[in-house]
Structure 1
Amino acid sequence: MKRYSLLLLLALLGMTPSASSFAVEDEIVIVVNQTNPARAASRDTLRPIFQTTRTEWSGRSVMPVNLPEDSPLRKRFDMAVLGLDPDGVARYWIDRKIRGGERPPRKVASPNAVLRAVGEEAGGIGYILASDVNPTVKVIARIRDGQVLPP
């Protein structure tokens, strides 16, 4: 109802909204290699994997894959899974480096590179838009409205 009221108000004011002003953000999905036996993962499972405090999962070494820090998709993922904004993520990795912790996840340039890396590595895990999923990966979780949900 609110949306129609807003549209009516805009029409009365002689303004027309662009198509993108009401577009819904595409859902983020967390994907693993097809050979991974996992069927689902919660935020509590994903967080230590992407903070590299958990290096094994489903009986194998895990290889998390991240997009660049300035990627809008990465920012949404980090807020939902890690509970950190870009500055918080940067501080986390600086602290880990100082303390001698594990290295950050492998960084790749694009969602296509995430698909390639996860599809080729048995322990690969990454995130992409739902619209980018292909047969080389399996969805184990979704991020919708900032919440990690089952596939």
Structure 2
Amino acid sequence: MKRLSLLLLLALLGMTPSASSFADADEIVVVVNQANPVRAAGRDTLRPIFQTTRTEWYGKSAVPVNLPEDSPQRQRFDMAVLGLDPEGVARYWIDRKIRGGERPPRKVPTASAVLRAVGEEAGGIGYVAASDLNPTVKVIARIRDGQVVPP
């Protein structure tokens, strides 16, 4: 609704937004602790970390942090990185629980909680909207148009 109102306002003013102006607002960034030496990560690296099949990386315990299931950023992240919609993610974790696999990533309620958790944990990794980014973490990937791309 907010976006539609903005578009209507811009149309009334005779202005047209560029595609990139909305892309930046919709972009998700994958972040790690500042001490993490990794500079970039692709889907093949991120997927096993967030499915908890890879529990260690760069010599530290991987500590993935998720937003709640109903978060739009979580749903877009899961689709781009895991290739799963919310129902598929739920089925995946039920199956893992039945089979005795690792537990799901830690879940926190807000982007600021993701940034805090990742900033405090050497192996921390999470994601937030680009607009929520702060200097306590570093970006190792971006999610644009449903694709994982380098920072």
Q: What is the TM-score of this pair, normalised by structure 2?
A: 0.86
Query: Who is 1:92 aligned against?
Result: 92
Partner SS, residue 18 of structure 1: helix
Q: Deviations over 1:28-85 (max 9, x none)?
A: 0000000000000000000000000000011111100000001111000000000000
Give the superposition deviation at 1:20. Answer: 5.2
Query: Who is 2:32 aligned against?
Result: 32
Q: Is residue 103 of structure 2 the alignment partner of residue 103 of structure 1?
A: yes
Which whole-Å CA distance do the structure 2 matches of 1:117 and 1:20 have between them?
36
Query: Who is 2:126 aligned against?
Result: 126
Task: Trace 1:65-84 onto structure 2 (pairs within 5 A).
Answer: 65-84=65-84
2:49 counterpart letter in structure 1: I
Cα RMSD after superposing both structures: 1.4
Give the superposition deviation at 1:133. Answer: 1.2
Q: Deviations over 1:72-100 (max 9, x none)?
A: 11000000000000000000000000000
Which structure 1 residue ranges, 4+ long, deviate > 4 Å from structure 2? 20-23
Aligned length: 135
Q: Which has the larger radius of gyration?
A: 1
Which whole-Å CA distance do the structure 2 matches of 1:28 and 1:43 have between them?
14
Give the superposition deviation at 1:19. Answer: 1.4
1:70 counterpart letter in structure 2: D
Task: Trace 1:2-81 onto structure 2 (pairs within 5 A).
Answer: 18-19=5-6, 24=22, 25-81=25-81
Aligned sequence identity (%): 80
In structure 1, stretches of 5+ residues that fail to align are: 1-16
Partner SS, residue 70 of structure 2: coil
